[in-house]
Amino acid sequence: MIINRLATRAVSTAFRQRAAVQSTAGFHSTTAADAKVAVLGAAGGIGQPLSLLCKLSPEVDELSCYDIVGTPGVAADLSHIPTKSSTTGSLPSPVAWPPKHNGGLEEALTGADVVVIPAGVPRKPGMTRDDLFNTNASIVQTLVEGCAKFCPDAIIAIISNPVNSTVPIAAEVLKKHGVYNPKKLVGVTTLDVCRANTFVANSQGWDPKDVDVTVIGGHAGITILPLFSRVDGAKFSDEELEAITVRTQFGGDEVVAAKAGAGSATLSMAYAGFIFTENVLKAMRGEEVTQCAFVESDLTDAEFFASPVKFGKDGVEDVLPLGELSAYEKGWFDKMLPELKKQIQKGVDFVNK
């Protein structure tokens, strides 16, 4: 799993406007070698920089932006950037009688190969990701219903928090529509890896591109478990290990507090979401890609779990074994698992209430 190497290469090649690797396998768009990415929530704090990075990527041929406001302007702005991808921006269809389906969402999703969902409200000081549940759960449910109808074969990457609950929500929605495929539903936990890599590099005086920390569990507080014992050459005292673990787990709180009510982690999350998305596209074109993701898993008795995952042309190809944990990591693992299962069940119950 070489996420940092993939990340560095992804961004640098995007800015050089490298020609995309051509392939005829693995895509559902009208042209086999073309990749369509739909960003749902594209006018938001994460959605706009995420859409910008996707526009710069040589792996993206068509970028479709959707939100409840602002997306025509976002798409028009992005369309002036001289890269090969086309850009469209859609809004929900006006309310009509008799009621009809959302034509704007249909336009955004039809033919999509990858759907990235950062839509939702951000955290404010004092809020946990779980505090966002009621609002963001409904948003994710509605958007995934659209995916089930208009792009049932697309890979769906969930960024909207709380990921530990919104991914199970998406799974239950897809099951109700008869189109659930565990290989094509993932929660994006890449930001946890980015934070862990950055914090280790800073503490050791290393270049972050040379660090690759495996982060397992979920994507909220103590459910985030960085496996620092596997970082070759890193040396921590007991106090330092505790501090860097907790900082990785609650790195989002650090940003929320620093923004003082103006939002949560948007730029770093957009970067992480872009890296994840571009790596998925590369895997669909035949490259070997392994990265951490929150997926349906039998590694533990939690239905979903974040761990190193091998991606291929059809999405998740293999969930890799966890391997041995240190005694310190085992302690966190035992504390994390009941909380993770509780958050997963909350998502399942939301759809089936």
- Residues annotated catalytic, as ranges: 219
User: Dihedral of CA 196/266/217/116: which sign?
Assistant: negative
Side-chain-side CA neighbours of 144 within 13 Å: the count stands at 33
Pairing between strand 114-117 and 36-40? parallel
CB-facing half-sphere around the CA of 256: CA atoms within 13 A: 14
Separation between Cα atoms, residue 228 and residue 326, nearest integer Å: 9
Half-sphere exposure of 216 (CA within 13 A, CB side): 27
Q: How far apart, in whole angstroms, are the C-alpha atoms of residue 53 and residue 85?
A: 11
Q: How many whole angstroms separate alpha carbon 274 and alpha carbon 267?
A: 11
How many residues make up the chain in this entry? 353
